[in-house]
Structure 1
């Protein structure tokens, strides 16, 4: 691995091809990931060294060690997994590259939920985050108040970001980066699945490989990290803020549409049984647990359900044809 490519990667100067090479190299072994972490710290100390000749010599030694590790091809989902694992490091390294402060010991804070609980989180800048089931949010408390407020999301969350024009707020996901000043928005960013980002208030910028787009209120983007296909659409404010308000919102949804929203909301496999008569359902159901939600849908939309250990099976009553407002 060429050390100059790694250097550009740490400072977020690399192009798409170089990023793919680095992430592939990181996935090869724990040793490679340790080298990158050490490289970021060592480069910082070398830049501050008084003896520049010795610093250059040490840097060349690190280059030689890095170049011994080969780069191999890998599947796309592995690349994204490796990228997510080092996202917090990149946020810290990017700030170091611009300001070069005295060395700071990272203090990573990770907040996570399970399949049975959700969390409402207040970050150090008073930004509020509603963290959905089976999701996690990570940030470096040692650098969070520097020039950029950076967090890493795995899963689904709604953000209400405290406005601070001098310190942009950045969310890194396995496939995208979202930058804002002060706004509220929803992100669904799970491994090996299309990313969905929707804005409630304000304006955000979304970047990814072959993607750079601004989103305004009630706009939604769906991005496939494998094909790089991007779809933009309109979304109602109620749907964007549903997670914050603890409500599943349905708008003219048929059974597959209902199943898709349940699957995304609970991060749980939903199976449709049979080919029942079509249903169109509009309404909202408060999330008091999956059994309570399914019970409400059973009454409101005529859905029959069965909950198993690893999935939910849905079907419609044979005489169901409803449109609830």
Structure 2
């Protein structure tokens, strides 16, 4: 086998017959010939191949082939495994880089942690860096444990969550909620991101956060609320009463200037019930601000609807909104 055939193999241009020839050659070839072909590939890259690299590569190829031979699997060696190993080793002059890289990816994939609060009580999550996160009913949190501990603090949230972030100037804390990313250094803030609602909302209690969505960016100050319209892709920032922002942490249900349509969706999500409004127009333009004790859904809905002169009917396990 010549160097051209080995290069053709690395480029993925071999016929099945040629590929078998290369694999058989790698299995049976003597060390001097393998070493010579490896060095001949030097012409295809910009840098010189040090002797220690080619020798290590030679040893690695033989070790791999011998191990597979013992298992009777030499014919099943995949081209990309050998090709990628040779290419990376020549390019970076180090044999450990490629062998450890797939393991890292596998570890990162296995290290994803997903937490969901399926109950109706508030759940507190203590992160490895000292950050505390409270999840409201039906809220979910996910993050890559390996990356969080080693490189960057990034989490993804759906539902409502309150954050008390431990300061670490070298590693900003990022929260992803749909198209909105919130970046902080050390602060306390609240996020509302329910997948069936129109808005994603971030309320800052203390500290400072940077909000980015699409191409817009805004830095919030304490007492400000950012509302991002998912459909219009627009961001609005306004002042808000942060006194009620944390009340849900004690088990209460809080609505802060929320469209009535979204209020009903949130109640349906929290209690896992069906709420039907056959005349959607009766909800138009109606908003709600209020704090409620966590009561049975029918009792809570009647209190919410009373504010707007609407009524509730229970039928066949569903809650029906009517004028």
Match of 1:260 in 2: 262
Gaps of 5+ in 2: 1-80
Does 2:137 align with 1:133? Answer: yes
Contact 1:168 1:179 in 2 (8 A): yes
Match of 2:156 in 1: 152
Matches within 5 A, 1:96-245: 103=104, 105-106=107-108, 107-114=111-118, 118-191=122-195, 193-245=198-250
Deviation, 1:301, is 8.4
> Following the alignment from structure 1 to structure 2, what is the Cα–Cα distance between the partners of residues 184 and 125?
15
> Following the alignment from structure 2 to structure 1, what is the Cα–Cα distance between the partners of residues 186 and 311?
42
Match of 1:51 in 2: 90
Higher relative contact order (CA 8 A, sep 6+): 1
Larger radius of gyration: 2
Gaps of 5+ in 1: 1-41, 60-99, 317-325
Residues 232-266 of structure 1: CA deviation (Å, up to 9, x unaligned):
12221134223323323457x7xx95553343355
> Structure 2 length as normaliser, TM-score?
0.55
Helix, strand or coil at the partner of 1:125: coil
Deviation, 1:231, is 1.5
Helix, strand or coil at the partner of 1:165: coil
Helix, strand or coil at the partner of 1:217: coil
Contact 1:221 1:233 in 2 (8 A): yes
> Following the alignment from structure 2 to structure 1, what is the Cα–Cα distance between the partners of residues 278 and 123?
33
Helix, strand or coil at the partner of 1:145: helix
> Following the alignment from structure 2 to structure 1, what is the Cα–Cα distance between the partners of residues 132 and 251?
14
Residues 28-78 of structure 1: CA deviation (Å, up to 9, x unaligned):
xxxxxxxxxxxxxx9xx98x95421799xxx9xxxxxxxxxxxxxxxxxxx
> Structure 1 length as normaliser, TM-score?
0.55
Larger % of helix: which? Answer: 2
> Following the alignment from structure 2 to structure 1, what is the Cα–Cα distance between the partners of residues 287 and 104?
58
Deviation, 1:169, is 1.0
> Following the alignment from structure 1 to structure 2, what is the Cα–Cα distance between the partners of residues 238 and 144?
31
Match of 1:313 in 2: 320
Contact 2:259 2:286 in 1 (8 A): no
Query: What is the count of residue pairs matched by the alignment?
Result: 224
Contact 1:157 1:243 in 2 (8 A): no
Match of 1:248 in 2: 253
